[in-house]
Amino acid sequence: MHAARTFATAVIVALFWQGGAGATDLPPEQAALHVLNRLAYGPRPGDIERVTQMGVQRYIDSQLHPESIPMPATLTARLDALETARQPAGRTLAQLLAVREMAKDEGEEGKAKRRAVVVNMTEQTAEARLARAVDSPRQLEEVMVDFWFNHFNVFEGKGLDRALVASYERDAIRPYALGSFRDLLGATAHHPAMLFYLDNWLSTADGFVPRGRPNARIKTAGLNENYARELMELHTLGVDGGYTQRDVRALARMLTGWTFNPRALALRNEGFIFDARRHDKGDKQWLGHTVHGGGQDEGEYALDVLAMHPATAHHLSYELAQYFVQDAPPPALVDRMARSYLASKGDIRTVLATLFASPEFLAPEAQGAKFKTPYQFVVSAARAGSAPLAEIKPVLGALNRLGMPLYGCQTPDGYKNTEAAWLNPDALSRRIGIATAMGRALDAGALQATLGGTVSARTRAAVAASPEPLRAAMLLGGPDFMQR
């Protein structure tokens, strides 16, 4: 087996550095494959023919309105069986807190029970995401859930967020993935997962003293700027959005008192609260304006301003164009998308429609111009192979080995989606190893038919010259498949 893998690696690496399929004009089948690789996680068997017959524009229109696409009964039943993915955040948090106490009181047995509960939470949360990504016909919705979760990243491994990630994705990301950006921004800002991850739940006006504890030394006392900084730098305006450190501090003051109580969340499922006692009631100078003390309204005002700021329109348009078109997106396209964003008052569906209707999106030079992230690679391989996603652990293990653990980005900027971030010899070797493992159970002929015109003549020749057991691995590990 080691010799076979070495053979496959050598051939695939040679193919890769020679280049994959070159850019060509887009006949109907190639246009269908292009939108399946961008609006979806690649084709499943029969998808290219189906999209070719229905027409690319009709497919795009249907994907922009996922509510019109029926969900498979088997997928719905699978999701319904995942308790962590369905239950309120408070119940999941209560379970986590309970086993934490158990681990303190019962030694190794308690720690083992805690690990089992945490693993179950992690796997059920991941299964809900991956099952949808592989099997849902509402592919653009899944792509945008991943895009926005990454944009508003929280790290599952930080404390209480282990129990809050499922609710965060379900309640703060998914409902707004194709809707109003202001609504999406507000949902993430109010969710306990974000409040906890970037520490705003601890932020108070300077000098705040808890009631009845005048001499207490508590970690909640004092202003925390983490969320305010990332809110402007990552979530809205962008690093070059024209704000200063003074603006960061002023926004942090405006957001004091935006918090949650873990105990109230666990006992009564009470999420976001505004604690007026912690709030900085003074006037602030922010982005050139005077903001008078107004309690929670100050933070809501800030979200209103940030959501409709021209710098936000440009920043988000750039990120979307980079994701769907090219690593260095055409400036003219970004500008048109930004104008569409402002004219539609931040309607994500309208901005995407502008993008997908643009000549840049279907231009020959955009075909195959994006290198798949590890997540896109693994999900698209599962879809192309049409193998049942029975076990989640191997998929999570593959993502870990490829350096992109699901919900595992520790920094708030999320994972990159560019070729420079993911293409290197070590990463390529790891992908080939995973392709070899996945390819063992697949029929190479059926896989090649599913991938259609994406398989170049050079790759087809290399596959045909390879031993039969390695042919599916050659297709999944080849340069054509790693591009989208």
For 78-119, how does the pLDDT look when each residue is reduced to its tens digit (9 = 90+)?
999 999 999 999 999 999 999 887 766 667 777 788 889 999
For 316-351, how does the pLDDT look when each residue is reduced to its tens digit (9 = 90+)?
999 999 999 999 999 999 999 999 999 999 999 999
Q: What is the mean pLDDT of residues 127-143?
A: 98
Task: Return the pLDDT at 73.
Answer: 98
Long-range contacts of 216-223 (CB under 8 A, 24+ apart): 220/278, 223/249, 223/252, 223/253, 223/256, 223/280
For 357-414, how does the pLDDT look when each residue is reduced to its tens digit (9 = 90+)?
999 999 999 999 999 999 999 999 999 998 778 889 999 999 999 999 999 999 999 9
Assess contact for 152 and 322: CB atoms under 8 A.
no
For 22-81, how does the pLDDT look when each residue is reduced to its tens digit (9 = 90+)?
333 578 999 999 999 999 999 999 999 999 999 999 999 999 999 999 999 999 999 999
170 phi/psi in degrees, rounded to 5: -70, -40
Task: Return the pLDDT at 215.
Answer: 46
Q: Is the pTM of this model over 0.75?
A: yes
- As a whole number of angstroms, the distance between CA 321 and CA 317 comes to 6
pLDDT-derived band at 212, boundaries 50, 70, 90: low
Q: Is the pLDDT of residue 14 over 60?
A: no
| Mean predicted lDDT score pLDDT of the chain | 92
Q: Is the pLDDT of residue 17 over 50?
A: no
For 282-292, how does the pLDDT look when each residue is reduced to its tens digit (9 = 90+)?
999 999 999 99
Q: What is the mean pLDDT of residues 453-459?
A: 91
Q: Which residue matches tokens 């979200």?
A: 303
Task: Return the pLDDT at 3.
Answer: 57
For 254-265, how does the pLDDT look when each residue is reduced to its tens digit (9 = 90+)?
999 999 999 999
87 closest CA partner among 213, 269, 246, 228:
269
Q: What is the mean pLDDT of residues 136-160?
A: 98
